[in-house]
Amino acid sequence: MEYSYEEFLEDLSMGREIHFIYKDETFYIGCGTGQFMFWKFNNSASEIIGENVEDLIRKVKLDGKLIKECWSLIKIDTIF
């Protein structure tokens, strides 16, 4: 089943938490503690907090690119 970028945004907007893999590294994005957050696993310095989904998506960069620009290289691992 193909998981689209639009479905990803919809899930984030509903407060779901998503683990994904990009270039053999695992990342978290979601609203697990009442805040929209992103981080690379095992790297607390990578944490980014957004006011809402749109703000977070604008702040997160993978290799200097937005998630949308890297979408074809992202593998969804888990959705909570």
Q: How confident is the model at residue 1 (pLDDT cuts 50, 70, 90)?
A: low
pLDDT digits (tens, 9 = 90+) for 35-79: 999 999 999 899 999 999 999 999 999 999 999 999 999 999 999
Handedness of CA 22, 26, 32, 37 (dihedral sign): negative
Q: What confidence score (pLDDT) does residue 34 get?
A: 80
pTM: 0.92
The Cα 46–Cα 58 span in angstroms is: 15
